[in-house]
Amino acid sequence: MFKFTFDFTEENAIHFALFCILNAPLFKWANRVALALLLTIPLLPILFFLQDLLSDAPWEFDELLIRTVLTTVLCIVLYRIYTHLSERTATRAVLRRLEAMRAAHMFGIRIVSFEAMHIVERSEHTERTIAYRSITDVSLSDKGIYLFTAPTEAIVLPLYIFASEEEKRQILALVRAKVSP
Tens of pLDDT, residue by residue over 88-120, are 988 898 889 889 888 877 888 999 999 989 999
Res 73 pLDDT > 70 = yes
For residue 128, give the nearest of 154, 101, 94 by alpha carbon. Answer: 154
Annotate 11-53 with DSSP letters as a single string.
Answer: HHHHHHHHHHHHT-HHHHHHHHHHHHHHHHGGGHHHHHHHHHH
pTM (2 decimals)?
0.71
**Per-residue pLDDT at 61 exceeds 90:** no
Please tell me the distance from the alpha carbon of residue 146 to that of residue 7, in angstroms, as a whole number. Answer: 16
What's the pLDDT tens digit per position in 136-146? Answer: 999 999 999 99
Residue 178 has pLDDT above 60, yes or no: yes
Helices 61-103 and 10-22: crossing angle in degrees, nearest 10, is 140
- Distance CA(120)–CA(68), nearest Å, equals 60
Banded pLDDT at 36 (limits 50, 70, 90): confident
Q: How many CB atoms lie within 10 A of CB 119?
A: 22
Burial of 20 (0-12, 13-18, 19+ CB in 10 A): buried
Return the pLDDT at 5: 92
Mean pLDDT over the full length of the chain: 84
